[in-house]
Amino acid sequence: MGEQTISRRARLRAETTREIKEIALRLMADGGPDAIALRAIAREMGMTAGAIYSYFPTRDDLITTLITDVYTDLVDRAEAARDTVPETDPGGRVIAWAQAVRAWALANPEGFRLIYGDPVPGYQAPEGGAASEAEHRACAGLTGLVAAAWPRAGALHDGDYRWADFDPGLVAQVQEEFPGLPPAVVALALRVWGRMHGLVALEIYGHLSPLANDPAAIYRAEMRDLVRSLGL
């Protein structure tokens, strides 16, 4: 078998895989998470059920791949936006991360729903989670934003927290990557995450737009207030 034949076959497989994932997200957008079904995708693509199972043996395999892809893309965008702002401007890095999350969510609403919306009925994630690496990066990114602000933010938000108040896996990650910081950093990182995602979720699920003509302006104001609340 020639090298060109192998290359062509790999290229066709990659294209088919991409099309399967695109159709799955569209089905979810039209009919909710329940609409993701390998047989439905196969019918739309003119494939047999047996053929599509050679790409994704189970529906759970497809959903795991989708979650990993979209979560990784989200974190890639957020990290890239943050890194356009120098470390000497921690407030600017917070806003850059937040704006990138909102922009990504608006461009990929189905992906946002897949990560942060209702769980897909019947889906069983693999051990360790569907997108553990992306989740780890997102957690590290948000905690890093708070850690950079902590010299000032700590004076405003240092609460009576213990490490036992948080998930042991999260605690281990924070203690390894940000040694010397108190458990209050974790609480503040979770609060920052909530403020960044709250208005985005309302917008993605259609609750904000009917009430506000310019959701972007409201989000910018909320993020500026968030930065001020960190003492930046």
- CB neighbours of residue 136 within 10 Å: 16
Question: Using an 8 Å Cβ cutoff, are 136 and 110 in contact?
Answer: no
Render each residue's pLDDT in the chain as its tens digit; 232 residues. 555 556 878 888 899 999 999 998 898 888 887 888 898 898 988 888 888 899 999 999 999 999 999 999 999 999 999 999 999 999 999 999 999 999 999 999 999 999 998 778 888 989 888 889 999 999 999 999 999 999 888 888 878 899 999 999 999 999 999 999 999 999 999 999 999 999 999 999 999 988 999 999 999 999 999 999 999 9
138 token code pair = 């997102």
What local confidence, expressed as pLDDT, does residue 129 receive? 83
Is residue 232 within 8 Å of residue 157, measured between CB atoms?
A: no
Report CA 163 to chain centroid distance, whole Å: 25
pLDDT value of position 151: 87
pTM for this predicted structure: 0.89
The DSSP secondary-structure symbol of 119 reads: P
pLDDT at 198: 95
Q: What is the DSSP letter of 86?
A: -
**Residue that has been written with the tokens 């066709």 in this structure:** 12
Tell me, what's the pLDDT at 4?
58
Write down the H helix ranges in 32-89.
38-45, 49-53, 59-82
Alpha-carbon distances, residue 1 vs 6, 11, 16 (angstroms): 7, 16, 21
pLDDT score at 118: 76
Give residue 34's pLDDT: 81
Contacts of 142 (CB under 8 A, 6+ apart): 97, 189, 192, 193
Q: What is the DSSP letter of 205?
A: T
Question: How many residues are given for the chain?
Answer: 232
For residue 92, the model assigns a pLDDT of 97
Nearest Cα residue to 205 out of 25, 32, 18: 32
Give residue 195's pLDDT: 96
Strands (E) across 100-208 are located at none
